[in-house]
Structure formats: C-alpha cells, structure tokens
C-alpha cells in the first residue's frame, strides 16, 4: 500500500488506452435480485466484487461515492473498506478515488485524510476548494495521493456560484480562478486534479487550457447525458490523455437482471472504444 502513487497508477492505465472510471454508486435498492439477499453488506460487497471482476482490465479508476455507503452506518463503512481492499487485491494497478467531496479547516481535514487514505486505503479523494489551499494542506501534503478539486461540476445548478463574474479578475469566472489556482499554487507535489462535468464541454475545454496536462475527472457521461465526442475533444491533454471519464449508473446498473456483470463489461468496452475513437 505504501508504494502506491495515484498519478503513476493513472499514467499506467492511460498508456493502455483506459480512460473509463467506473463509479461504484451502489444503491442497495437498485441491486439486481440475484445478489440482493440477506444483509446490505453481503449484497453490496458481492455486487461490487462482480462489477470489479468484469471491468478491471478496462478501466483507469474506480470511484465509490461515500454517500451510498454512509447511508448504512457502520456497516456501510465496512462495505466501503472491503470493496477498496478487494480492488487492491484483484486490480492492484487500478487506483481508487474516494468521492467524498470533503472540505473543512486544516485540523479537521487531518481526520478526513486519515479516514480516506489510512483507514479506507483510497488513492485519491475529491475535495471542495472553498476554504483555500491553507486548509487543504493535510490532503495536499500526501504526495502519493490524488487531490481532486471540484471546479465546474456536472449538475444543472452548477453555475449558481461557479459561473459568477469576479470584477477585476482577468479569468472572469469563479471556476476559471479555481482551475488556475489549483494548477499554479496547489500542485507543488504534482498530485492535484480537477473535476469538470461532461455536461459542459465548452467549460471543459477552457479548464483544459488553464491546467495544461493535469488530470481532469469528468463525470456526467451516461445517465446525465454528457456527449463522448465533445468530452474527449475538449478534455484530452496534449498527449491525448489526461482524462478520467466517469460513468456510474450507465455501467453498474446497465442490466437489472442476473447478467448485470456481463452488461457492465459490455458498456465499459463500448465507452472505452468510443473514447479512444475520438482521441488525438
């Protein structure tokens, strides 16, 4: 575990043409009947293992969202920890992004960092930028871990604050300033990335121009309606790489039947091939 480096793991997967990130948003009520039995822990762990087994050679990362696990209390945390341990066991070259969207003052962030990285074993975490670099130091100082900063998110109401104009600021918009600061002030250890939704390809292209070859986590493909071609053309870096293109429901719940693992693999292959079709 100590030798895992998030950026190195990503680069290894990109070199294989793997740019799909599977979001393990495992909602218990949506799990197919074949594995939805007994306790949520048994069902969710079995479901996650089968998804991982079916896709592990095709992906650049897995991204469990903590909300779907925290909803089950201490049992959910056990599910999350067991899922990450299983990924490390069967897919040791695939990084795990904890989609937790944490942010607080520095001392509190020390606890969040220990939970994500030391207890759960995640390789990266999503964070909010609102408290500034000083507060995020407990995450940024973990040189081997990824710190993925929300920049221009995929939800319809994202622009309420992220699009606000800043008087006297050459970059004009909040999300552009976030991208600039992360790239030029936060990334001393080369472990930062940003989040930009596939549902906003124009803004994605703007952010790519600002952050250079920094990784971009791109949610919004699949159920949220992001377009693959527009996403790749706007989101790829100077090498035709740099993208962590996430699909959650569109892959893990591609089938409600007993063949959900086979369906997940088919959808992952389809998305992987589509991404590579439009790369430089």
Res 221: pLDDT: 87
pLDDT-derived band at 39, boundaries 50, 70, 90: confident
Q: How far apart are CA 275 and CA 19, in angstroms?
A: 7
C-alpha pair distances (Å), 182 with each of 17, 69, 115, 166, 177 = 26, 29, 23, 17, 8
pLDDT tens, position by position, 205-251 = 999 999 999 999 999 886 666 799 999 999 999 999 999 999 999 99
Residue 254 pLDDT greater than 90, yes or no: yes
- β strands within the chain, DSSP E: 20-23, 59-63, 97-102, 124-127, 146-152, 192-196, 216-218, 243-247
Q: Is 230 a catalytic residue?
A: no
**Whole-Å CA distances, 35 to 23, 248, 255, 258, 259:** 19, 18, 13, 8, 11
What domains can you pick out in the chain, each with its CATH number?
6-278 (3.20.20.70)
**Marked catalytic residue, from 101, 137, 230, 270:** 101
pLDDT at residue number 224: 64
High-pLDDT (> 70) share of the chain, % = 96
Length reported for the chain:
280
The residues near 102 (Cβ < 8 Å, ≥ 6 apart) are 109, 112, 116, 125, 126, 127, 128, 139
Whether the pLDDT of residue 86 is over 90: the answer is yes
Tokens for 136? 């995020």
Model pLDDT for residues 115-147, shown as the tens digit of each residue: 999 999 999 999 999 999 999 999 999 999 999
- Helical packing angle, 201-211 and 228-235, nearest 10°: 20
Could you write out the three-class secondary structure of 28-52? HHHCCCCCCCCCHHHHHHHHHHHHH
Give how far the C-alpha of residue 124 lies from the chain's centroid of Cα atoms, to the nearest Å.
8
């Amino acid at each position: 575990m100590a030798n895992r480096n998030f950026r190195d793991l990503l680069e290894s997967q990109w070199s294989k043409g793997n740019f799909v990130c599977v979001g393990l948003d495992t909602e218990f009520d949506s799990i197919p009947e074949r594995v939805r039995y007994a306790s949520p822990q048994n069902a969710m762990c079995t479901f996650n293992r089968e998804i991982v087994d079916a896709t592990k050679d095709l992906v650049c990362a897995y991204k469990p969202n903590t909300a779907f696990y925290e909803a089950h209390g201490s049992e959910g945390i056990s599910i999350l920890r067991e899922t990450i341990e299983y990924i490390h066991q069967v897919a040791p070259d695939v990084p795990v992004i904890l989609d937790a969207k944490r942010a607080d003052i520095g001392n509190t962030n020390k606890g969040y960092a220990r939970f994500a990285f030391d207890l759960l074993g995640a390789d990266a975490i999503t964070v909010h930028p609102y408290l500034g670099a000083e507060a995020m130091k407990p995450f940024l100082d973990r040189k081997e871990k990824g710190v993925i900063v929300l920049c221009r998110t995929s939800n319809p109401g994202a622009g309420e604050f992220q699009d606000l104009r800043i008087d006297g600021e050459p970059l004009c918009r909040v999300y552009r300033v976030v991208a600039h600061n992360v790239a030029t002030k936060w990334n001393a250890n080369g472990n930062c990335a940003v989040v930009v939704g596939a549902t906003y390809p124009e803004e994605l292209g703007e952010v790519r121009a600002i952050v250079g070859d920094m990784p971009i986590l791109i949610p919004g493909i699949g159920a949220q309606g992001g377009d693959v071609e527009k996403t790749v053309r706007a989101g790829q870096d100077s090498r035709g790489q740099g993208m962590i293109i996430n699909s959650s429901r569109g892959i893990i719940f591609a089938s409600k039947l007993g063949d959900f693992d086979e369906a997940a693999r088919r959808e992952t292959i389809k998305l992987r091939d589509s991404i590579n079709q439009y790369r430089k």
